[in-house]
Amino acid sequence: MQTINFRHQLNLHRNKVILFILLGFIGFQAKAQYYEKENLPNYDDALIHYGFYLGGHTANMKVRYNEDYLSNQFDSLHSVIPESSPGFTVGFIVNLRLAQYLDLRTLPGVGLYQYTLNYNTYDQAEEVTFQGKKEAFYAELPLLLKYKSQRRKNFRAYMIGGAKPSFEVSGKRPSEIKEDVLLINTFNLALEVGFGVDIYYELFKFSPEIRFSRGLTNALYSRQNSYSSPLNELVTNSVSIYFQFQ
């Protein structure tokens, strides 16, 4: 149990360090660009822009137990602890200008996600941990609204939010898997919110962004086995860092 708590704390501190480094990088770039000449002065007048992005994330799942577990019908199982795992995402950007400070954008892409649950049990008075793990590629199609601040020289801050449906595109469907493993639904819908900055260079716009995602649907597949029996619901969570080029 101490090992799992240590890993959990390590993941939390790792995320804070990554966010701190990214925010420092954004501040440095914005300050440098602010005092230079204004690049791409008519960039935001265009109706549509295209681009691509690269991203990294940490993902986990929020666990909700069922009534059987809560009524102590699982004597040997005392907890199910989610573990954060890294992954990456790549894709394209299609940005539509709706108003002076408002854009609608979709970002079709593909991401590698890994979800890990640690099942902690007692076996002859000793603590034993076994893992349920799911790793797969997901096709994603976020639909987001981007609210922008006023441009200052070569710098503009923004907030972003919307919904992200995703579909598993690798491996077998849960209904085809006969083994006793952690089964996750192939479709997921998540709410996403975040913030970022647009930094204008002479030839392109670079936009680092931090986005937080929370699942709206139950990711747990309905078949009962040793992994799903104590659970009622699994909800996905992720923190992502994107580097966007337009």
| CATH number of residue 191's parent domain | 2.40.160.20
Helix-, strand-, coil-residue percentages of the chain, each rounded to 5: 15, 55, 25
Whether residue 160 is predicted with pLDDT greater than 70 in this model: the reply is: yes
CA geometry: angle at 190 spanning 10 and 218, to 5°?
Answer: 90
For the entire predicted model, the pTM comes to 0.80
The count of domains in the chain is 1
Amino acid 60: pLDDT: 94
Domain residue limits at 18: 2-245
How far is the C-alpha of 54 from the C-alpha of 41, rounded, in Å?
25
Among the residue ranges 131-145, 178-192, 219-233, the one predicted with the least confidence is 219-233
User: How much is the mean pLDDT over the chain?
Assistant: 85
The pLDDT assigned to 187 comes to 95
Supply the pLDDT for residue 235: 95
10 Å CB burial of residue 240 (0-12, 13-18, 19+) is: buried
The whole-number pLDDT of residue 11 equals 52
Q: Which residues lie below 8 Å from residue 164, measured CB to CB, with a gap of 6+?
A: 140, 141, 142, 143, 189, 190, 191, 192, 213
Percent of the chain with pLDDT over 70: 81
